[in-house]
Amino acid sequence: MRSCSAPPHESAVCEAGSEPCLPAPVTCLRAWKWGAAGPCSRRGAAAAAGRKDLPRMVSHPELKQLFCTADAVCFDVDSTVIREEGIDELARFCGVEDAVSEMTRRAMGGAVPFRAALTERLALIQPSREQVQRLLAEHPPHLTPGIRELVSRLQERNVQVFLISGGFRSIVEHVAAKLNIPAANVFANRLKFYFNGEYAGFDETQPTADSGGKGKVIKFLKEKFHFKKIIMIGDGATDMEACPPADVFIGFGGNVIRQQVKDNARWYITDFVELLGDLEE
């Protein structure tokens, strides 16, 4: 396990908790099928190497079947599980909303590398530990309609539910508690604070601090728990790029529509009621 404490010369500590050091993402294209074997099996890889077959796109009914038989479902948090963008709410609370909101829009659309956008936004906000705590107490995040019922239904089916977010763990754990999702199923960034509570940066070792980080988390979950089918649901480009290694990506536009995601996601919804309906069929 990797500790998120800052080196001694920085005199800073992170938000509570730690996550494992995760390996690099895989490149297996699970959105395609190479005949019966599939590209991820040795037999399928050998067959693909020896012939020129073109891959077949997975049909929408097949995508729904994968969702209904998934071992695990991973949700983005900001603008997906909750209605707000957590970092924008923090910026508003700290009085720098306008500049940060534009950076968020560009980052979620894929126009700016995620780490660069996160660094720039936090440099503007400079949130203290007290400000983060006050934000949660005075302006708690609002759950997206239908998410509580969807998570509950998945859990009733013994499907593992994870929250994978480029937001901040202190906020995401607050959301997880509302949905009865254990803190161990939360992967998010950690703010660092000096011992007097002032902002000291963020933990750059977390996979979610980088573009492609959500894919690293999903690969780790497959290796640790031997999940066969993982679904990723989210509104942004960083969610879409997590498939593969996720087996299915479902774009969500119920709070905000990212045009790049809407145009490129093979399955796009604007209401969680649709997924609840699929589970009931």
pLDDT of residue 149: 93
The CATH number that applies at residue 187 is 3.40.50.1000
Is 255 a domain residue?
Answer: yes
pLDDT of residue 49: 40
CA proximity to 169, closest of 77, 72, 94: 77
Is 184 a domain residue?
Answer: yes
pLDDT of residue 23: 39
> Residue 70's domain spans which residues?
60-84+141-279
Q: Could you say which of 53, 71, 76, 271 is catalytic?
A: 76
pLDDT of residue 106: 66
Is 25 a domain residue?
Answer: no
Is 215 a domain residue?
Answer: yes
Q: Is 76 a catalytic residue?
A: yes
Question: Along the 281 residues of the chain, how does pLDDT read in single tens digits?
Answer: 444 444 443 444 555 443 333 433 333 333 333 233 333 333 333 333 433 333 446 677 777 778 888 899 999 998 999 988 888 888 888 888 877 777 766 666 556 777 888 888 888 888 889 989 989 998 899 999 999 999 998 999 889 999 998 888 988 999 999 999 999 999 999 998 899 988 888 888 888 877 788 989 999 999 889 898 899 999 888 888 888 888 888 888 888 888 788 888 888 888 898 887 877 76
Q: Is 210 a catalytic residue?
A: no
pLDDT of residue 85: 84
Structure tokens at 108: 């979620």
225-246 residues labelled b (16+ CB within 10 A) or e (exposed)? eebebbbbbbbbbbbbbbbbbb
Backbone φ and ψ of 145, nearest 5°: -55, 135
Q: Could you say which of 53, 71, 78, 278 is catalytic?
A: 78
pLDDT of residue 177: 93
Virtual CA dihedral for 65, 234, 154, 167, nearest 10 degrees?
Answer: 150
Is 52 a domain residue?
Answer: no
Is 125 a domain residue?
Answer: no
pLDDT of residue 55: 41
Virtual CA dihedral for 207, 211, 212, 218, nearest 10 degrees?
Answer: 50
pLDDT of residue 151: 93
Tell me the whole-structure pTM to 2 decimals. 0.73
Residues 159, 70 contacting (CB under 8 angstroms): yes
Give the SS3 label for residue 183.
Answer: helix
* Number of structural domains found in the chain: 1
Is 26 a domain residue?
Answer: no
pLDDT of residue 9: 39
Is 22 a domain residue?
Answer: no
Q: Which residues are CB-neighbours of 105 under 8 A, at least 6 positions away?
A: none
pLDDT of residue 18: 38
Distances in Å between the Cα of 173 and the Cα atoms of 3, 5, 155, 184, 257 are 18, 19, 18, 9, 25
